[in-house]
Amino acid sequence: MEHLTLAFLFGGLSAASLPLGAAVGIWLNPSLRLTAAVMAFGAGALLCALTLELVVPALAHFPDDPFESFKWMAIGAMTGCLLFIGLDRALSEMGGYLRKHSTIAHRLKHSKKKHYRKILDKLSVLDVMLALPPDEIKRVVSDIEKRVFKSGELICHEEDPCDALFLIESGKVMIHPHEANEKAGRISLLNKGDAFGEMALVTGVPAIKRAEAVEDTVLWEVHKDDFNEVVAVSPGLRHKLGRLAAHHRGESNNDIQRHHSEAWLAAASHNLESELGKPTEAEIISAARVEKGGSNVAVAIWLGIALDGIPESLVIGGSMTGASVSVALVGGLFLANFPESMSSASVMKKQGSSSFNVIAMWVSLMLMTAVGAALGHLFIADAPHHLKAMLEGMAAGAMLAMIAQTMLPEAFEHGGWLTGLMTVVGFLAAIMMGTLGESSFH
């Protein structure tokens, strides 16, 4: 029982930096660059801990057969990695991605890419857009503007000409053509997914007299100036667009046209993510505030943070030898947990969570880590060598995946060159703690 209590205390000590880091993140509101530096420091400390205190011991369980040790460690590492990735993705779908700046940014960037891919899909059926080079259309799409109209509101009229391309995201639009248009007298009703105004981009003369929202409507507008900038870079493009203007829409339903449309869409969508740029800090916080809400999201955030700490808590108790524990492991985890909670708590505070709720969340995770360490000592400490090697490998794989997916990307995003330096400093700090403690805590 004494050893079980010690495992609980060691687990709690390694996670004591969670509420401490959360308090710093809430009340000091550190700059992004400082947060990035501390995050890189923590990643370095965690890399040291998992390498020296998980991987090395796992490889030593079968001294007479090194390959046997490697086999069980590797099986565990890949299992832990895949489990972390799978659970992380599942929790992200529930809202768990809101726990960190980096995961919010990744989710927002993915959503923007998916959204603009849908816009390109709609543009790919328009001859006017197909005339544009696929590589250049991404410049137009990245500047596309969302516009919202109430029922009965005019979208464009004679005083404010319809000289842009509009895509209907939702709602209905009534189109009144100019008398000079060949479709004079034909008032048309357009629905979700339809487009209008594209020929005005080519001819410079609006073919629509008035467009009116029949119900609450959301549109995406491709501005004439953005379109003209793309046209200006291709000398032969204006001639091609002139031929389109003469034939208006032409024939676009034959097999050749469909093949061209599909090829254009594939080329236009290639590497779209890099063209859209990185989400700004304002976009990240705004997205978090809009999407955050409900008990399911709060639970998902809590579980997401717990997922980052479960492997390390189990291995603290499991790696104990009698009443001794590795100082490098406990110290490395302590150093790694501080920036983890500081960054997440700062983001949660900006999302609107109360200071009390944020601190309470991290305190509960500290207690959970302590319990996990006790369970690790109870079930892992005396496990067979092959099982211990696999479990240590699982913890190392999960922790390494977490560092690669969340800690280092967030650190480099705002820290730049400082990331490499602080990662090495954190790595050395964890080694120093282990050296000073003679690698054991009595």
Token couple for 208: 């629509």
- Tell me the per-residue pLDDT of 75-112, one tens digit each, with 9 for 90 and over: 999 998 999 899 888 877 777 777 666 777 777 777 77
Label residue 172 by pLDDT band (50, 70, 90): very high
Instruction: Quote the pLDDT of residue 234.
Output: 61
Q: Per-residue pLDDT for 376 more than 70?
A: yes
Q: Is 441 helix (H, G, I), strand (E, B) or coil?
A: strand
What pLDDT digit, counting tens, does each position of 217-227 carry?
999 888 888 77
Q: Is the dihedral of CA 413, 415, 416, 422 positive or negative?
A: negative
pLDDT of residue 384: 87
**Residue 52 corresponds to which amino acid?**
L
Q: Could you tell me what percent of the chain has a pLDDT over 90? A: 12
CA distance 442 to 440: 6
Alpha-carbon distance of 173 to 215, in angstroms, equals: 8
User: Which of 297 and 122 is assigned the larger pLDDT?
Assistant: 122
Q: Tell me phi and psi for residue 169, to 5 degrees.
A: -80, -40
Residue 355: pLDDT over 80: yes
Best CA proximity match to 343, nearest among 404, 280, 407, 282? 407
Percent with pLDDT over 70 in the chain = 76
- Report how far residue 72's alpha carbon sits from residue 50's, in angstroms, rounded to the nearest whole number: 16
The total of other beta-carbon atoms located within 10 Å of residue 189's CB is 10
Single-letter amino acid, residue 431? I
Give the neighbor-by-neighbor strand order of the sheet with 195-196: 145-149, 217-222, 165-170, 195-196
pLDDT-derived band at 149, boundaries 50, 70, 90 = very high
pLDDT band at 439 (very low <50, low <70, confident <90, very high): very low
Question: Is residue 161 over pLDDT 50?
Answer: yes
pTM of the entire predicted model: 0.67
Q: How much is the pLDDT for 245?
A: 56
Going by the DSSP 8-state scheme, the letter that residue 54 receives in this structure is I
Which H or E run includes 167? strand 165-170
How far apart are the C-alpha atoms of 49 and 63, rounded to whole Å?
Answer: 21
Q: Residue 217 in contact with residue 172, Cβ under 8 Å?
A: yes
Please list the alpha-helical segments (H only) found in 124-189.
Answer: 127-130, 134-142
The amino acid that residue 115 corresponds to is H
Domains and CATH numbers, the chain: 2-110+281-436 (no CATH), 126-251 (2.60.120.10)
List the single range of 68-72, 252-256, 342-346, 382-386 with lowest mean pLDDT.
252-256
Cβ neighbours, 10 Å, residue 131: 18
**CA atoms of 323 and 9, how far apart (whole Å):** 11
Cβ atoms of residues 397 and 77 within 8 Å:
yes
Per the DSSP assignment, residues forming a β-bridge with 221 are 145, 166
pLDDT at 310 over 60: yes
Count of CB atoms situated within 10 Å of the CB of 282:
8
SS3 429: helix
Contact 375, 67 (CB under 8 A): no
Across the range 249-275, mean pLDDT stands at 61
What is the average pLDDT value for the chain, to the nearest integer? 78
For residues 307 and 76, what is the distance between their CA atoms, to the nearest angstrom?
A: 17
Beta bridge partners of 176: 210
Q: What share of the chain is helix, strand, coil (3-state, %, to 5)?
A: 70, 10, 25
Question: Is 409 a residue whose pLDDT tops 70?
Answer: yes
Rg of the chain over all Cα atoms, to the nearest angstrom: 29
Distances (CA, A) of 73 to 4, 57, 248, 265, 335: 25, 10, 66, 45, 25
SS3 for 176?
Answer: strand
